[in-house]
Structure 1
């Protein structure tokens, strides 16, 4: 997320192809939670939600006239039941990843095991 933030702040269009567990980052039903271990309620814990960070990045990109295209791997979404994403996130396929890589000046892949 920090790399995406820096790229947008630097004036770059950004393409994200999220796969595996990363499809949960823009999941619309994320909710804050208490922290019983530390005795904090929901308000005191004030747990950050990745979906709000992504929405803010999309807004910032749009306000700057940039494109932040976030595609969630559809196979990964189905496998995990993560179909409900925030506005602006779209369902994608491995073809989107290929197109992103082919049409970009640089590509960073963060793999999973």
Structure 2
């Protein structure tokens, strides 16, 4: 049992490290963009903040998905899980468009 717990904890920390590393790499790339690239993509501070904003929105959408599953727990489990997953994904897509619009970041 102890070995299995250690394996699961190690896997979780690896996933977290990859997640944070991807955000840090994106911020580093945004901080080194040339002036020509910034003309088409947007302001450098907005591009550096974008991965953090999207991660925050993703966290809020995940919480909303969990609440949706809890609310639908009286129905069939597969329906509740599917609704929570799809609801969180759709909410994230909508809010991601809103965040990129508010930050005035181009997708060019």
TM range, smaller chain:
0.3 to 0.5
Larger fraction in helix:
2
TM-score, with structure 2 as normaliser = 0.32
TM-score, with structure 1 as normaliser = 0.31
Larger radius of gyration: 2
Larger fraction in strand:
1
